[in-house]
Amino acid sequence: MGKIIFYEDKNFQGRSYETSSDCAELTSYLSRCNSCRVESGCFMVYERPNYMGHQMLARRGEYPDNQRLMGMSMSDCIRSCRMIPTHRGQFRMKIYDRENFGGQMHELMDDCDNLQDRYRMSDCQSAHVMDGHWLMYEQPHYRGRMMYLRPGEYRSFRDTGMGPMDMRIGSIRRIMDSC
């Protein structure tokens, strides 16, 4: 079970809100969120409500300033978060180079540091996650912006609002229970 504490101001100042589960709208509890502390587990934090927009993985630790956690390209405030449950067992995901599970398909059971090199795929536009929790990265070698996928069907990344509309997928990594 994870636990994260959000603070209105930088350096863990101001009012706080603690949660161990998903929160679709942090401004229901705080006027803003400019720092956080992950006491256990892993969480995805999002710049917009309802798990939308740019997102970042927050592992156990302290984040006194959101710029350190979220990067310069993101807004100052965290607006929503998802707790990433510990997954034990097999990881399985099918990726497709076209929307609606069309085109070239590959099944992944482990990390892929470069989609282009391994599968000759220049992009991934839909996926079906059967087992485990995954992070898709914009660039090879797990760099750049990221998008969190939990078990389910993702017919079009462009229409989900989960990540940047212009994001291309360059690498994919499992979220292991070592968070």
Cβ 40 vs Cβ 83: under 8 Å: no
Spell out the residues 6+ positions from residue 93 whose beta carbon is closer than 8 angstroms to its own. 107, 108, 127, 128, 129, 130, 131, 132, 134, 149, 172
Looking at residues 166-179, what average pLDDT do you find? 83
CATH class name, domain 3-84: mainly beta
Give me 45's structure tokens: 């934090």
pTM for the model:
0.88
Reported as a single tens digit per residue, the pLDDT across 151-162 is 999 999 876 555
pLDDT at 164 over 60: no
CA distances from 143 to 19, 114, 140, 146 (A): 28, 11, 6, 8
HSE-CB for 125 with a 13 A CA cutoff: 13
pLDDT at 106 over 80: yes
CA distances from 108 to 12, 62, 97, 105, 113 (A): 39, 32, 14, 10, 12
Reported as a single tens digit per residue, the pLDDT across 137-150 is 999 999 988 999 99
pLDDT at 98 over 90: yes
What pLDDT is attached to residue 158? Answer: 75
For the chain, which residues make up each domain, given as ranges? 3-84, 92-174
Question: How long is the chain?
Answer: 179
92-174 in CATH: which number?
2.60.20.10
- End-to-end Cα spacing for the chain: 11
Reported as a single tens digit per residue, the pLDDT across 65-92 is 877 666 644 456 899 999 999 888 999 9
Looking at residues 101-107, what average pLDDT do you find? 96
Q: Which helix (H) or strand (E) holds 69?
A: helix 66-70
Instruction: Scan for tokens 């892929």, then name that residue.
Output: 112
Reported as a single tens digit per residue, the pLDDT across 10-57 is 999 999 999 999 999 999 999 989 899 999 999 999 989 999 888 899
